[in-house]
Amino acid sequence: MKLAIANVRWCYPKDTVARRSSWCRFTKSVSGQNLVLFGLDGIAIDFMDKYKNTFHYEAIYVLQNPREIKIFRGIPVYMTDEFSKATHDNNCVFLITSSWFMNGYIDILKRNGKTQYFSYLVMECRRPLNLVRIPLIRLRYSFLKAFLKDNGLFVNYIWFHIKAVLRVCRIPGFYKSHYAKIKKLKNIHKGERCFIIATGPSLRLADIELLKNEKTFSVNGIFRLFEKTDWRPTYYAICDYNVCLDYINNYGSLDFDSFCKERLFFIQQTEKLFWDDQYTKKAQFIPFCSLNDFTTGQRRRFYYSENLLWGLYTMQTVTNFCMQIAQYMGFKKIYLLGVDCDYITNGQHFSDEKSPNLKSYIQLSDAQERLTKAFGWIKKELEARGVTIYNATRGGALEVFERVDLENVVNELTTKKGV
CATH number at residue 54: 3.40.50.720
Is pLDDT of 204 > 60? yes
| Total Cβ atoms within 10 A of residue 299 | 8
Q: Which CATH number belongs to the domain containing residue 364 in this structure?
A: 3.90.1480
Which stretches within 284-405 are classed as H helix? 291-295, 318-328, 361-383
Is pLDDT of 332 > 50? yes
332 and 387 Cβ atoms separated by less than 8 Å: yes
What is the spatial distance between Cα 325 and Cα 237, in angstroms, rounded to a whole number? Answer: 10
| Total Cβ atoms within 10 A of residue 25 | 13
Distances (CA, A) of 227 to 223, 232, 235, 247, 252: 8, 11, 18, 17, 17
266 and 284 Cβ atoms separated by less than 8 Å: yes
* Co-location of 106 and 218 in the same domain: no
* Co-location of 123 and 186 in the same domain: no
Highest mean pLDDT among 93-102, 143-152, 293-302, 388-397: 388-397
| Between residues 383 and 350, the one the model is more confident about | 383
**Does residue 295 lie in a domain region?**
yes
236 and 212 Cβ atoms separated by less than 8 Å: no
Domain boundary among the residues 91, 117, 143 is at: 143
* Co-location of 403 and 280 in the same domain: yes
Q: Tell me the mean pLDDT in the region 359-386.
A: 79
Specify the number of domains making up the chain.
2
Q: Tell me the mean pLDDT in the region 282-292.
A: 85
Q: Tell me the mean pLDDT in the region 109-130.
A: 85
* Co-location of 96 and 216 in the same domain: no
* SS3 (DSSP) at 389: strand
Distances (CA, A) of 41 to 53, 62, 108, 126: 20, 9, 17, 20
How do beta strands 333-337 and 118-119 pair? Answer: unpaired
Is pLDDT of 303 > 70? yes
Identify each DSSP E strand in 128-229 by its residue range. 193-197, 216-219
Q: Tell me what percent of the residues of the chain surpass a pLDDT of 90.
A: 33
Q: Tell me the mean pLDDT in the region 218-224.
A: 92
* Co-location of 121 and 184 in the same domain: no
**Does residue 150 lie in a domain region?**
no
Q: Tell me the mean pLDDT in the region 178-198.
A: 93
357 and 240 Cβ atoms separated by less than 8 Å: yes
Confidence at residue 278, expressed as pLDDT on a 0 to 100 scale: 54
Q: Please, what is the Cα angle at 132 between 128 and 133, to 5 degrees?
A: 110
Confidence at residue 145, expressed as pLDDT on a 0 to 100 scale: 58
Is pLDDT of 289 > 80? yes
Is pLDDT of 320 > 90? yes
* pTM, to two decimals: 0.64
319 and 198 Cβ atoms separated by less than 8 Å: yes
* Co-location of 377 and 318 in the same domain: yes
pLDDT tens-digit map of 29-69: 988 889 999 988 778 888 888 888 889 899 999 987 756 78
* Co-location of 354 and 217 in the same domain: yes
141 and 147 Cβ atoms separated by less than 8 Å: no
- Domain span at residue 71 reads 2-143
Q: Tell me the mean pLDDT in the region 154-182.
A: 86
* Co-location of 210 and 352 in the same domain: yes
212 and 231 Cβ atoms separated by less than 8 Å: yes
pLDDT tens-digit map of 352-372: 454 444 445 555 666 677 788
Task: List for the chain the helix, strand, coil content (%; round to 5).
Answer: 40, 15, 40
How do beta strands 75-79 and 34-38 pair? Answer: unpaired
| Between residues 397 and 253, the one the model is more confident about | 397
Residue 95 pairs in a beta bridge with 37, 118
The pair phi, psi for residue 158, each rounded to 5°, is -115, -60
**Does residue 96 lie in a domain region?**
yes
336 and 322 Cβ atoms separated by less than 8 Å: no
Tell me the pLDDT band of 298, cut-offs 50, 70 and 90.
Answer: very low
Tell me the pLDDT band of 166, cut-offs 50, 70 and 90.
Answer: very high
What is the spatial distance between Cα 395 and Cα 340, in angstroms, rounded to a whole number? Answer: 7
Confidence at residue 66, expressed as pLDDT on a 0 to 100 scale: 59
* Co-location of 8 and 126 in the same domain: yes
Lowest-pLDDT range of 182-191, 293-302, 363-372: 293-302
Exposure string of 12-24, with b = 16+ CB inside 10 Å and e = fewer, is: bbebebbeebeee
Confidence at residue 247, expressed as pLDDT on a 0 to 100 scale: 85
* Co-location of 136 and 182 in the same domain: no
* Co-location of 268 and 374 in the same domain: yes
* Co-location of 204 and 330 in the same domain: yes
* SS3 (DSSP) at 379: helix
**Does residue 238 lie in a domain region?**
yes
